[in-house]
Amino acid sequence: MSRLTIRSKFEFTDRDRAGPNKHSSESRRREFSEIYDPFVEQEGKAQSERCIACGNPYCQWKCPVHNYIPDWLKLAAEGRVIEAAELAHQTNSLPEICGRICPQDRLCEGACTLNTEYGAVTIGAIERHITDTAFAQGWRPDLSGVEQTQYKVAIIGAGPAGLACADVLARNGVEAIVYDRHPEIGGLLSFGIPEFKLEHKVIRTRRRILEGMGIRFVLGANIGQEISFKEVLENHDAAFLGLGTYKAMEGNMPGEDATGVYRALDYLIGNTKSLLEMPAGEHSYTNLENQRVAVLGGGDTAMDCVRTAIRQGAKEVHCLYRRDRENMPGSQHEVDHAMEEGVEFLFNVQPLEIIVKQDKVSAVKVIETRLGPEDESGRRRPEPVEGSERDIGADAVIVAYGFRAKPVSWFEEFGIRTNDWGLVEASELDEYAFQTSNPKVFAAGDMVRGADLVVTAIADARKAAEGMVRYLSSGQ
């Protein structure tokens, strides 16, 4: 065994976990740009060398797309980023995006064998380093060996599910045409995730790559309005639905419809379109400069809202969450970032009412909670503490309780069944994975599973695309 091999086996004992350089909290409060600098080549190599290449790589199995993480870490450690990027794309259609926005602390890095004693390998930052570097060096998918078929598939929705489906179809010789109502691809990647997490130029690069694979985008097209779904089915051999979940969940409390109360997604989309100088459409721009802001919720969308309000110059920003920090559903890294940037978290408080004075928000009435027994999801249920009510002053309230499905009007006409929650019925266990009750229509992502992670939508959509290829090949 060579000295180099011995050193690489135990590199984690000599080299600490280190992430890329993070901008200061003071500068971040004024920037709508990614808060991390990219790894330089030597940093990427050095951190990749910390991987011990477990015989049973927990990181790989915890990842919803089951990335070959130890393998591309080894390639990165050897400086072979083109090969690493090629390997990353075998399991993930959007690795440069997952490297930026996945909650690695809950997924791959949380499962890293080194996590407890030595600090997990910085998998997310290395994934970003690999793909960004490979793109800059000219890497593009090699489809020269793909045999083109006569099949043509319509993909409705250019979010992560739709893009992942198109990627896999193109690699199987199926023509993919992606329709979306927005003027740019990405869905919530482009409009719902602020640029301090994911800069829009990353999406534009991915669009060029997908178009280079022969994927065609028809944007500004609302299926069911400008183009009928009947026309879509008549002109394509199959259709994929990747419409996501956009209907905001409400708190059902007094004052929720008052002036100064905003829905999280409307607020985020309006801000992003303003920064990108795009037409606002149905999402008007809301500026919270010099206002006291209260954000209700504890997920990643709530973190996006509090951090956006800080950058708009809000006077103070509070995040109100009914459980403790340990039980927050979002990434703990995002909570850390928000705290560093000046957000104040109020844990174990349940909003009861939005208090309105002179037709405008003036405060949020809350009650303190304590955690009781676990609920059906396995999380401890918050229980109100009698007599602990108090008011928290606010000029603006953003409701960030998550999203649910909103079935479109033409589902019933085309025999696309939904369940009691409005989610499309499509099982990954069927012969043709994620096929709906209309054999010609497949669906995956949040509109089937419910609001979840981007990487989960990618994983499901890739399986759906494989199911579509089998269906088309069967001649049914």
At 53 the three-state DSSP class reads coil
Among 111, 452, 455, 406, residue whose Cα is nearest residue 300 = 452
Answer with the residue of higher pLDDT: 143 or 54: 143
Section 387-400 average pLDDT: 97
What's the rounded mean pLDDT across residues 199-220? 97
Describe the crossing of helices 69-77 and 81-88 by its angle, rounded to 10 degrees. 170
Which CATH number is 248-402's, of 3.50.50.60, 3.10.20.30, 3.40.50.300, 3.40.50.620? Answer: 3.50.50.60
For 38-48, b/e burial (b = at least 16 CB within 10 A) is: bbeeebbbebb
pLDDT at residue 9 in the model: 58
pLDDT at 10: 63
444 secondary structure, DSSP code: -
If one counts every other C-beta atom within 10 angstroms of the C-beta of residue 24, the result is: 9
What pLDDT does 59 receive? 97
Asked if the domains at 3-136 and 248-402 fall in one CATH topology, the answer is no
Paired tokens of 374: 């676990």
Backbone phi, psi, residue 181, to 5°: -80, -20
What is the residue extent of each domain of the chain? 3-136, 152-245+405-474, 248-402
Return the minimum-mean-pLDDT range out of 38-47, 188-197, 371-380: 371-380
Q: What pLDDT score was predicted for residue 241?
A: 98
Which pLDDT band holds residue 4 (cuts at 50, 70, 90)?
very low
* pLDDT at res. 6: 37
CA distance 326 to 347: 10
CATH number for region 152-245+405-474: 3.50.50.60
CB atoms within 10 A of CB 145: 6
| Rounded alpha-carbon distances, angstroms, from residue 124 to 23, 133, 178, 397, 435 | 17, 14, 28, 33, 32
The model's pLDDT over 58-113, given as tens digits with 9 standing for 90+, comes to 999 999 999 999 999 999 999 999 999 999 999 999 999 999 999 999 999 999 99
Q: Which region among 214-228, 231-245, 367-381 has the lowest average model confidence (pLDDT)?
A: 367-381
Q: What pLDDT score does 168 carry?
A: 98
Q: What value does the CA radius of gyration of the chain take, rounded to a whole number of Å?
A: 23
Using the predicted structure, report yes or no on whether residue 431 has a pLDDT greater than 60: yes
Closest C-alpha to 181, from 220, 133, 152: 220
Over 139-165, what HEC string results?
A: CCCCCCCCCCCCCEEEEECCCHHHHHH
Q: Average model confidence (pLDDT) for the chain?
A: 93
What would be the CATH architecture of the domain defined by 3-136? Orthogonal Bundle (1.10)
Give the confidence band of 249 by pLDDT, cuts at 50, 70, 90.
confident
pLDDT tens by residue, 139-194: 999 999 999 999 999 999 999 999 999 999 999 999 999 999 999 999 999 999 99
Which helix H or strand E contains 319, and what residues bound it?
strand 316-320
